Amino acid sequence: MITVTEYEYYAQAAGTTDVRPVTRVNYRAGSLPVRWCPFCDTSSMVDVSPVCLGCHALWLDGSQVALERRVADALGREPAIPVAPVAPALPTLPEFSEELGGYAAWTMEELANASDVAKTTNNMEMMLALAEELEDRHRVLAEKAAEPQSLVEAVADYQEEAPVAAADAEPDAPSEPRRGRNRTGR
């Protein structure tokens, strides 16, 4: 009987059926494990992104790969590995400039995209700056809500004062659909 080493994580190159084991994983107390991509040697935290940030290889669970291999061995054939999808690139962000007001000049959609990029790339400095900006916006809304007008009027006033994403766009041009922050599908 041949003994096969089973790994906890695997990666599949984008657009191919090439599956390789993740041989380097760093476990630290109090934080998520960090794994290194076997294709491009980029590190990323487990459960932060479904793909490698360097080459967009798809992360696979080791138990799933082991089960597929056992089923293929029992049937006496090679495992049928589907081609991994080519992952989309991270969203593009507007240029950050202190002269233009920093994050205060960004729309909520741009801040949401920046938050996604910061989480995916593990950019703590950007996450803290975004948190400060959102706290400032929340404070402004709270101050307006404390005034003797209704909350609906305060939100409407704030939206009038907030920067517009495309000021030169045609008024009857359809806007892009807004995506919600809840991505679990529930």
The ranges assigned to domains in the chain are: 9-75, 91-176
**Contact assessment for residue 44 and residue 34, using Cβ atoms and an 8 Å cutoff:** yes
pLDDT digits (tens, 9 = 90+) for 63-111: 877 788 788 888 888 777 777 777 666 667 778 777 777 788 888 888 8
Paired sense of beta strands 43-45 and 25-26, if any: unpaired
The whole-number pLDDT of residue 149 equals: 62
48, 59 contact by CB (below 8 A): no
107 near 163, Cβ under 8 Å?
A: yes
Question: For residues 93 and 113, what is the distance between their CA atoms, to the nearest angstrom?
Answer: 7
Where does the pLDDT of residue 164 fall: very low under 50, low under 70, confident under 90, or very high at 90 and above?
Answer: low
pLDDT tens readout for residues 51-61: 887 888 888 88
103-125 residue pLDDT tens: 888 888 888 888 877 877 778 88
Q: What is the pLDDT of residue 1?
A: 40
Pairing of the two strands 34-36 and 25-26:
antiparallel
pTM, two decimal places: 0.44
Decide: 84 and 13 in contact? Cβ < 8 Å. Answer: yes
Q: What percent of the chain has pLDDT over 70?
A: 75
Q: How confident is the model at residue 9 (pLDDT cuts 50, 70, 90)?
A: confident
